[in-house]
Structure 1
Amino acid sequence: MRTLGVDLAAATRKTAVAVIEWSGGTGSNSPTQGSARLEHLALDVDDQQIVDLFGTCGITGVDCPVGWPDALLPFLTGHLNFDAVPVLEHDGIAGRRLLAYRDTDRFCTAHTGLIPLSVSADRLAHPAMRCAVIQAKIAQLHGPQPRDGSGRLAEVYPAASLKIWGLNGRGYKGRGVPEAERLEALLALLEERAPWLDLAGHRDRITASDDLFDAVIAALAARAVGRRRTLLPDAAHAAAARSEGWIHLPSCTLDELPF
């Protein structure tokens, strides 16, 4: 299995990718632990590079929303057409939260305590627009990928994956000395907890870029998706997951990924 992790930003220069090659390990019942090697790591990645890498990997985990809240389009259409009914349905803070957050965002908060940024009312909106274009480019070559992650593309959330795996993922983003020290310590802890992961000489590059680090975590989370070891939407969330997208939270430990 080859997994691709994409830390998608609005700007190409802040977009990072990581490809991990997995070997050995035949499933949850296997007594033999496999290994993983970081085969490719890049920063300043454009759309075409992501599409090309998608074609070479079994599962891609993208750190970016793949859709918008279902309530948002009727709200905007109502506003555009001077139709007050769908607009007034979202009067008040509770109504506006339905426009800002998806089912999967609320599910993620309930299970991890983390509050994802809003795809429609925060800094994620611009990257999500780029992600939609990339999804369209992938669809032209490889067919449409279900937004619930049941295909070869899945939405992941590195901060949540780190928390589930018992790694302190707070305070490492940024270019200051404290952030750099926290990133160094976080990577060292990852190496300790995942001795089966070969960084293939990229350690210094990862400690110098939180974008590259997040791409590696996204590629690890993609392995959990490929092994069907994530929290999947139940009947109550399935319809929204197909249209809005679904954040795949690992349901396995870090130790279980290579099996």
Structure 2
Amino acid sequence: MKTLGVDLAAATKKTAVAVIEWDRGTTGRCSARLAHLALDVDDQEIVDLFGTCEMTGVDCPVGWPDALIPFLTGHLNNMTAPVLEHDGIAGRRLLAYRDTDRFVTRETGLIPLSVSADRLAHPAMRCAVIQAKIAALHRPQPRDGSGRLAEVYPAASLKIWGLNGRGYKGRGIPEAERLGLLLAALEEQAPWLDLAGHRDRLAASDDLFDAVIASLTARAAARRRTLLPDEAHAKAACTEGWIHLPSCRLDELPLQ
């Protein structure tokens, strides 16, 4: 099995990918090797890598809140009813956050960025284009992650796996030190992961590091070891997307 992790940004410069190869062993555990790591990645490379991997985890929303389109359509057509339904802060939260965002907050205490009202909107537009390119070659991928593409959230994966993922993003000295400590903690808890000579690059780039965490989470999604939407969340997950939170320990990922 190969898993692809994508840390998607609005521009190629900050977009990173990581491919991990999982090979069957003789002891009931797979070996895991970081086979490909790249920064400054364009759409075509992501689509090409998707075609070679069994599961892809993308760190970016794959959809928008269901309430947003009727709201915008109502505003465009001067239809007051669908707009006034979202009067007040509680109504506007339904436009800003998806069902899966609220689920992640309840499960982890983390608040994902809003796909419709924050800096995440631009990467999400790019993600929609990439999904269309993948669909043209490999068929449309379900937004709930039941196919070969799953939305992931590295910060949540790190928290679930007991890794301190606070304050490592950025280019300053404190952030670099925290990233180095976080990488060391990952190596300690996942000695089975062969970084294949990429350690220095990972220690110098939070984008590359997030791509690796996305690829590890993609492994959990491929083995159905993530929190899946129940009946109450299933409908929204199909249209808005679903963030896959690991339901297994980090050391369980290599198990066959």
Q: TM-score, normalised by structure 2?
A: 0.99
User: Is 1:230 matched up with 2:221?
Assistant: no
User: Is 1:144 matched up with 2:143?
Assistant: no
- State the match for 1:208 in structure 2: 204
Aligned-partner Cα distance in 2 for 1:237–1:164: 21
User: Is 1:4 matched up with 2:10?
Assistant: no
Letter in 2 for 1:114: L
3-state DSSP of counterpart to 1:73: helix
User: Is 1:18 matched up with 2:49?
Assistant: no
User: Is 1:248 matched up with 2:244?
Assistant: yes
What's the CA shift for 1:33?
2.0
Deviations 1:81-136 (Å, cap 9, x if unpaired)?
A: 00000000000000000000000000000000000000000000000000000000
- State the match for 2:111 in structure 1: 115
What's the CA shift for 1:25?
5.9
Aligned-partner Cα distance in 1 for 2:25–2:107: 28
Aligned-partner Cα distance in 1 for 2:29–2:191: 11
Aligned-partner Cα distance in 1 for 2:128–2:168: 28
User: Structure 1 residues 154 and 25, CA, compared in 2 at 3 Å: closer, same or farther?
Assistant: farther
What is the total number of aligned residue pairs between the two structures?
A: 255
Q: Is the Cα contact below 8 Å between 1:25 and 1:258 reproduced in 2?
A: no
Letter in 2 for 1:74: P
Deviations 1:130-170 (Å, cap 9, x if unpaired)?
A: 00000000000000000000000000000000000000000
Q: TM-score, normalised by structure 1?
A: 0.97
Deviations 1:54-88 (Å, cap 9, x if unpaired)?
A: 00000000000000000000000000000000000
Aligned-partner Cα distance in 1 for 2:229–2:12: 31
User: Is 1:133 matched up with 2:129?
Assistant: yes
Aligned-partner Cα distance in 2 for 1:33–1:234: 30
Aligned-partner Cα distance in 2 for 1:147–1:161: 19
Aligned-partner Cα distance in 1 for 2:146–2:167: 32
Aligned-partner Cα distance in 1 for 2:142–2:235: 12
- State the match for 2:191 in structure 1: 195
Give RMSD over aligned pairs.
0.9
Q: Which structure 1 residue ranges, 4+ long, deviate > 6 Å from structure 2?
A: none
Aligned-partner Cα distance in 2 for 1:195–1:215: 18
Alignment of 1:23-172 (within 5 A): 23-24=23-24, 32-172=28-168
Aligned-partner Cα distance in 1 for 2:177–2:34: 22
Aligned-partner Cα distance in 1 for 2:84–2:25: 54
Deviations 1:199-224 (Å, cap 9, x if unpaired)?
A: 00000000010000000000000000
Letter in 2 for 1:190: L
Q: Give ranges in structure 2 of 5+ residues lacking alignment.
A: none
Aligned-partner Cα distance in 2 for 1:33–1:81: 58
